[in-house]
């Protein structure tokens, strides 16, 4: 009897052991938390920007961050398990390469934070002869009283102005392969809260624009963002209300040369070694004058701040007036043979003699037929506010 009881115990023990083995085989092994990215390592994208796609393989919750605002991650509401991520990379308007790091984090079985990184390398813009370019613009708005609309320009208006400047350039009859865009990043690499607009409180308004543009005083020079990266437009009220805008001509870096422009031989032309504010200045008193330039309104310079800016930026990019500059005598001083020069002094005398008179329009033909001072060609009529 004792023997039989012992055998039954052995049998029960064997059955329990067998059942335990069977249960172990049926239960899958617990897999440690993991996260893998495809592709991994370094991802390259051109200066034009666009989309990149990453595939996440994981069995746990995770997070992802980008250390640069120009590289944005689009993901689902829940960051867990397998997912496909879209990266939106903004256009790089500089010639410098730039780099962003995406950091993925998750916790391992012990609760320790683990990271996986992916680097996004974006190439800088390559400048080539005949290429099309976008130039970042920053309006430096100098104001003493933010309650005066012509000093503290209403938000969004300067984008409208720049859009009109671009329209003037697009419809000039020649493909300039140029587009002006609002800057999106400040010199420290931070995203601008108001793209393209730098608002600067200034104690003394109005300002003598000629003194401003010729000064080597640091209080003026420090306002200029590096001209290698930005087109600077200073916007403030001029002490001389008859002047709408004034511009600097560009420097050419030696050994390059453009007739009519100075050659800079002092090394890289940067904000640190400027000897004058390299910019254009625009009289903010006219900032809301927005009558568009059309064939029906050829006198657009008197009615559109965008035309004044387009005019001054032409100087900033190296273009001179087609009329003969008085200090150069009666000869072609814009160094271009596409437009004959004309006698500005003679032209202005006629214009001023009829301005404000009832029969001004009756004398358009006379104004149109003012002779050029070189070859007798006809000068097409048009007037402009006093722009330099």
Q: What is the pLDDT of residue 326?
A: 61
Fold of 133-319: Collagenase (Catalytic Domain) (3.40.390)
| Cα angle: 246, vertex 137, 300; to 5 degrees | 50
Q: Which CATH superfamily is domain 35-122 in?
A: Immunoglobulins (2.60.40.10)
- What is the average per-residue pLDDT within 69-74? 91
pTM for the model stands at 0.79
Q: What is the pLDDT of residue 246?
A: 96
Contact at 8 Å (CB) between 52 and 41?
no
Q: What is the pLDDT of residue 367?
A: 56
What pLDDT, in 10s, does the model give residues 160-198? 999 999 999 999 888 999 999 999 999 998 999 999 999
Q: What is the pLDDT of residue 72?
A: 93
Mean pLDDT of the chain: 82
Q: What percent of the chain has pLDDT over 90?
A: 55
Q: Name which of 200-204, 241-245, 349-353 the model is least confident about.
A: 349-353
pLDDT exceeds 80 at position 368: no
The three-class DSSP label of residue 18 is helix
Contact at 8 Å (CB) between 305 and 153?
no
> Between 43 and 361, whose confidence is greater?
43
> Between 35 and 31, whose confidence is greater?
35
Q: Count H helices, E strands: the chain? A: 7, 17
The tokens of 266 are what?
Answer: 């002092």
Q: In this structure, what DSSP letter does residue 122 have?
A: E
pLDDT exceeds 70 at position 365: no
Which helix (H) or strand (E) is 50 found in, with range?
strand 50-58
Q: What is the pLDDT of residue 3?
A: 47
pLDDT exceeds 60 at position 362: yes
Q: What is the pLDDT of residue 348?
A: 73
The three-class DSSP label of residue 330 is coil
The tokens of 194 are what?
Answer: 């108001």
pLDDT exceeds 60 at position 294: no
pLDDT exceeds 60 at position 299: no
Q: What is the pLDDT of residue 352?
A: 75
Q: What is the pLDDT of residue 322?
A: 77
Residue with tokens 């032209």: 347
| Cα angle: 198, vertex 201, 206; to 5 degrees | 105
What pLDDT, in 10s, does the model give residues 124-154? 998 888 888 899 999 999 999 999 999 999 9
Q: What is the pLDDT of residue 116?
A: 94
- What's the CA gap between 233 and 236, in Å, rounded? 10
Which helix (H) or strand (E) is 116 found in, with range?
strand 113-122
Using alpha carbons, list the distances in angstroms from residue 91 to 70, 96, 185: 8, 12, 12
- What's the CA gap between 86 and 150, in Å, rounded? 43
Q: What is the pLDDT of residue 271?
A: 72
Where in the chain are the domains? 35-122, 133-319, 324-388
- What's the CA gap between 182 and 188, in Å, rounded? 16
Same topology between domain 35-122 and domain 133-319: no
Burial annotation 129-160 (CB, 10 A radius, 16+ → b, else e)? eeeeeeebbbbbbbbbeeeeebbbbeeebbbe
pLDDT exceeds 80 at position 18: no
Q: What are phi and psi of 7, to 5 degrees?
A: -65, -35
What pLDDT, in 10s, does the model give residues 258-278? 887 888 777 766 777 788 999
pLDDT-based confidence at residue 354 (cuts at 50, 70, 90) = confident
The tokens of 292 are what?
Answer: 């568009």
Contact at 8 Å (CB) between 251 and 274?
no
pLDDT-based confidence at residue 27 (cuts at 50, 70, 90) = low
Q: What is the pLDDT of residue 6?
A: 43
Q: What are phi and psi of 284, to 5 degrees?
A: -70, -10
- The gap from C-alpha 45 to its chain's centroid, in whole angstroms, comes to 19
What pLDDT, in 10s, does the model give residues 221-255? 999 999 989 999 999 999 999 999 999 998 887 78
What pLDDT, in 10s, does the model give residues 304-316? 899 999 999 999 9
Q: What is the pLDDT of residue 383?
A: 39
- What is the average per-residue pLDDT within 55-74? 93
Q: What is the pLDDT of residue 296?
A: 53
> Between 82 and 339, whose confidence is greater?
82
Contact at 8 Å (CB) between 71 and 87?
yes
pLDDT exceeds 80 at position 210: yes
């Amino acid at each position: 009897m004792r023997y039989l009881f012992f055998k039954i115990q052995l049998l029960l023990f064997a059955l329990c052991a067998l059942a335990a083995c069977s249960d172990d085989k049926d239960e899958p092994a617990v897999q440690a938390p993991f996260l893998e990215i495809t592709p991994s390592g370094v991802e390259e994208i051109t200066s034009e920007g666009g989309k990149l796609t990453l595939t996440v393989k994981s069995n746990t919750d995770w997070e992802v961050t980008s250390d640069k605002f120009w590289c944005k991650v689009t993901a689902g509401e829940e960051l867990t398990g397998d997912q496909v991520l879209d990266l939106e990379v903004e256009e790089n308007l500089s010639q410098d390469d730039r780099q962003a790091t995406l950091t993925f984090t998750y916790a391992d079985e012990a609760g320790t934070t683990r990271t996986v990184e992916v680097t996004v390398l974006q190439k800088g813009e390559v400048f080539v002869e005949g290429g099309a370019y976008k130039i970042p613009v920053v309006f430096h708005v100098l104001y003493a009283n933010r309650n005066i609309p012509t000093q503290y320009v209403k938000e969004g208006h300067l984008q409208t102005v720049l859009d009109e400047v671009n329209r003037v350039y697009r419809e000039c009859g020649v493909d300039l392969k140029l587009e002006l865009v609002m800057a999106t990043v400040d010199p420290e690499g931070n995203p601008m809260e108001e793209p393209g607009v730098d608002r600067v409180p200034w104690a003394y308004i109005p300002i003598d624009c000629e003194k401003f543009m010729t000064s080597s005083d640091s209080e003026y020079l420090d306002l200029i963002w590096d001209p290698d990266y930005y087109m600077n437009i200073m916007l403030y009220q001029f002490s001389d209300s008859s002047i709408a805008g004034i511009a600097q001509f560009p420097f050419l870096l030696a050994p390059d040369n453009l007739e009519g422009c100075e050659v800079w031989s002092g090394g890289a032309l940067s904000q640190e070694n400027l000897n004058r504010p390299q910019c254009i200045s625009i009289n903010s008193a006219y900032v809301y004058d927005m009558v568009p330039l059309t064939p029906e309104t050829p006198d657009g310079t008197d009615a559109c701040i965008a035309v004044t800016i387009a005019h001054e930026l032409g100087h900033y990019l190296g273009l001179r007036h087609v009329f003969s500059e008085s200090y150069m005598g009666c000869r072609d001083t814009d160094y271009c043979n596409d437009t004959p020069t004309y006698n500005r002094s003679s032209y202005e005398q006629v214009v001023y003699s009829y301005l404000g008179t009832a029969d001004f329009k009756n004398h358009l033909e006379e104004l149109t037929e003012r002779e050029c001072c070189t070859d007798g060609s006809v000068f097409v009529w048009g007037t402009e506010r006093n722009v330099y």
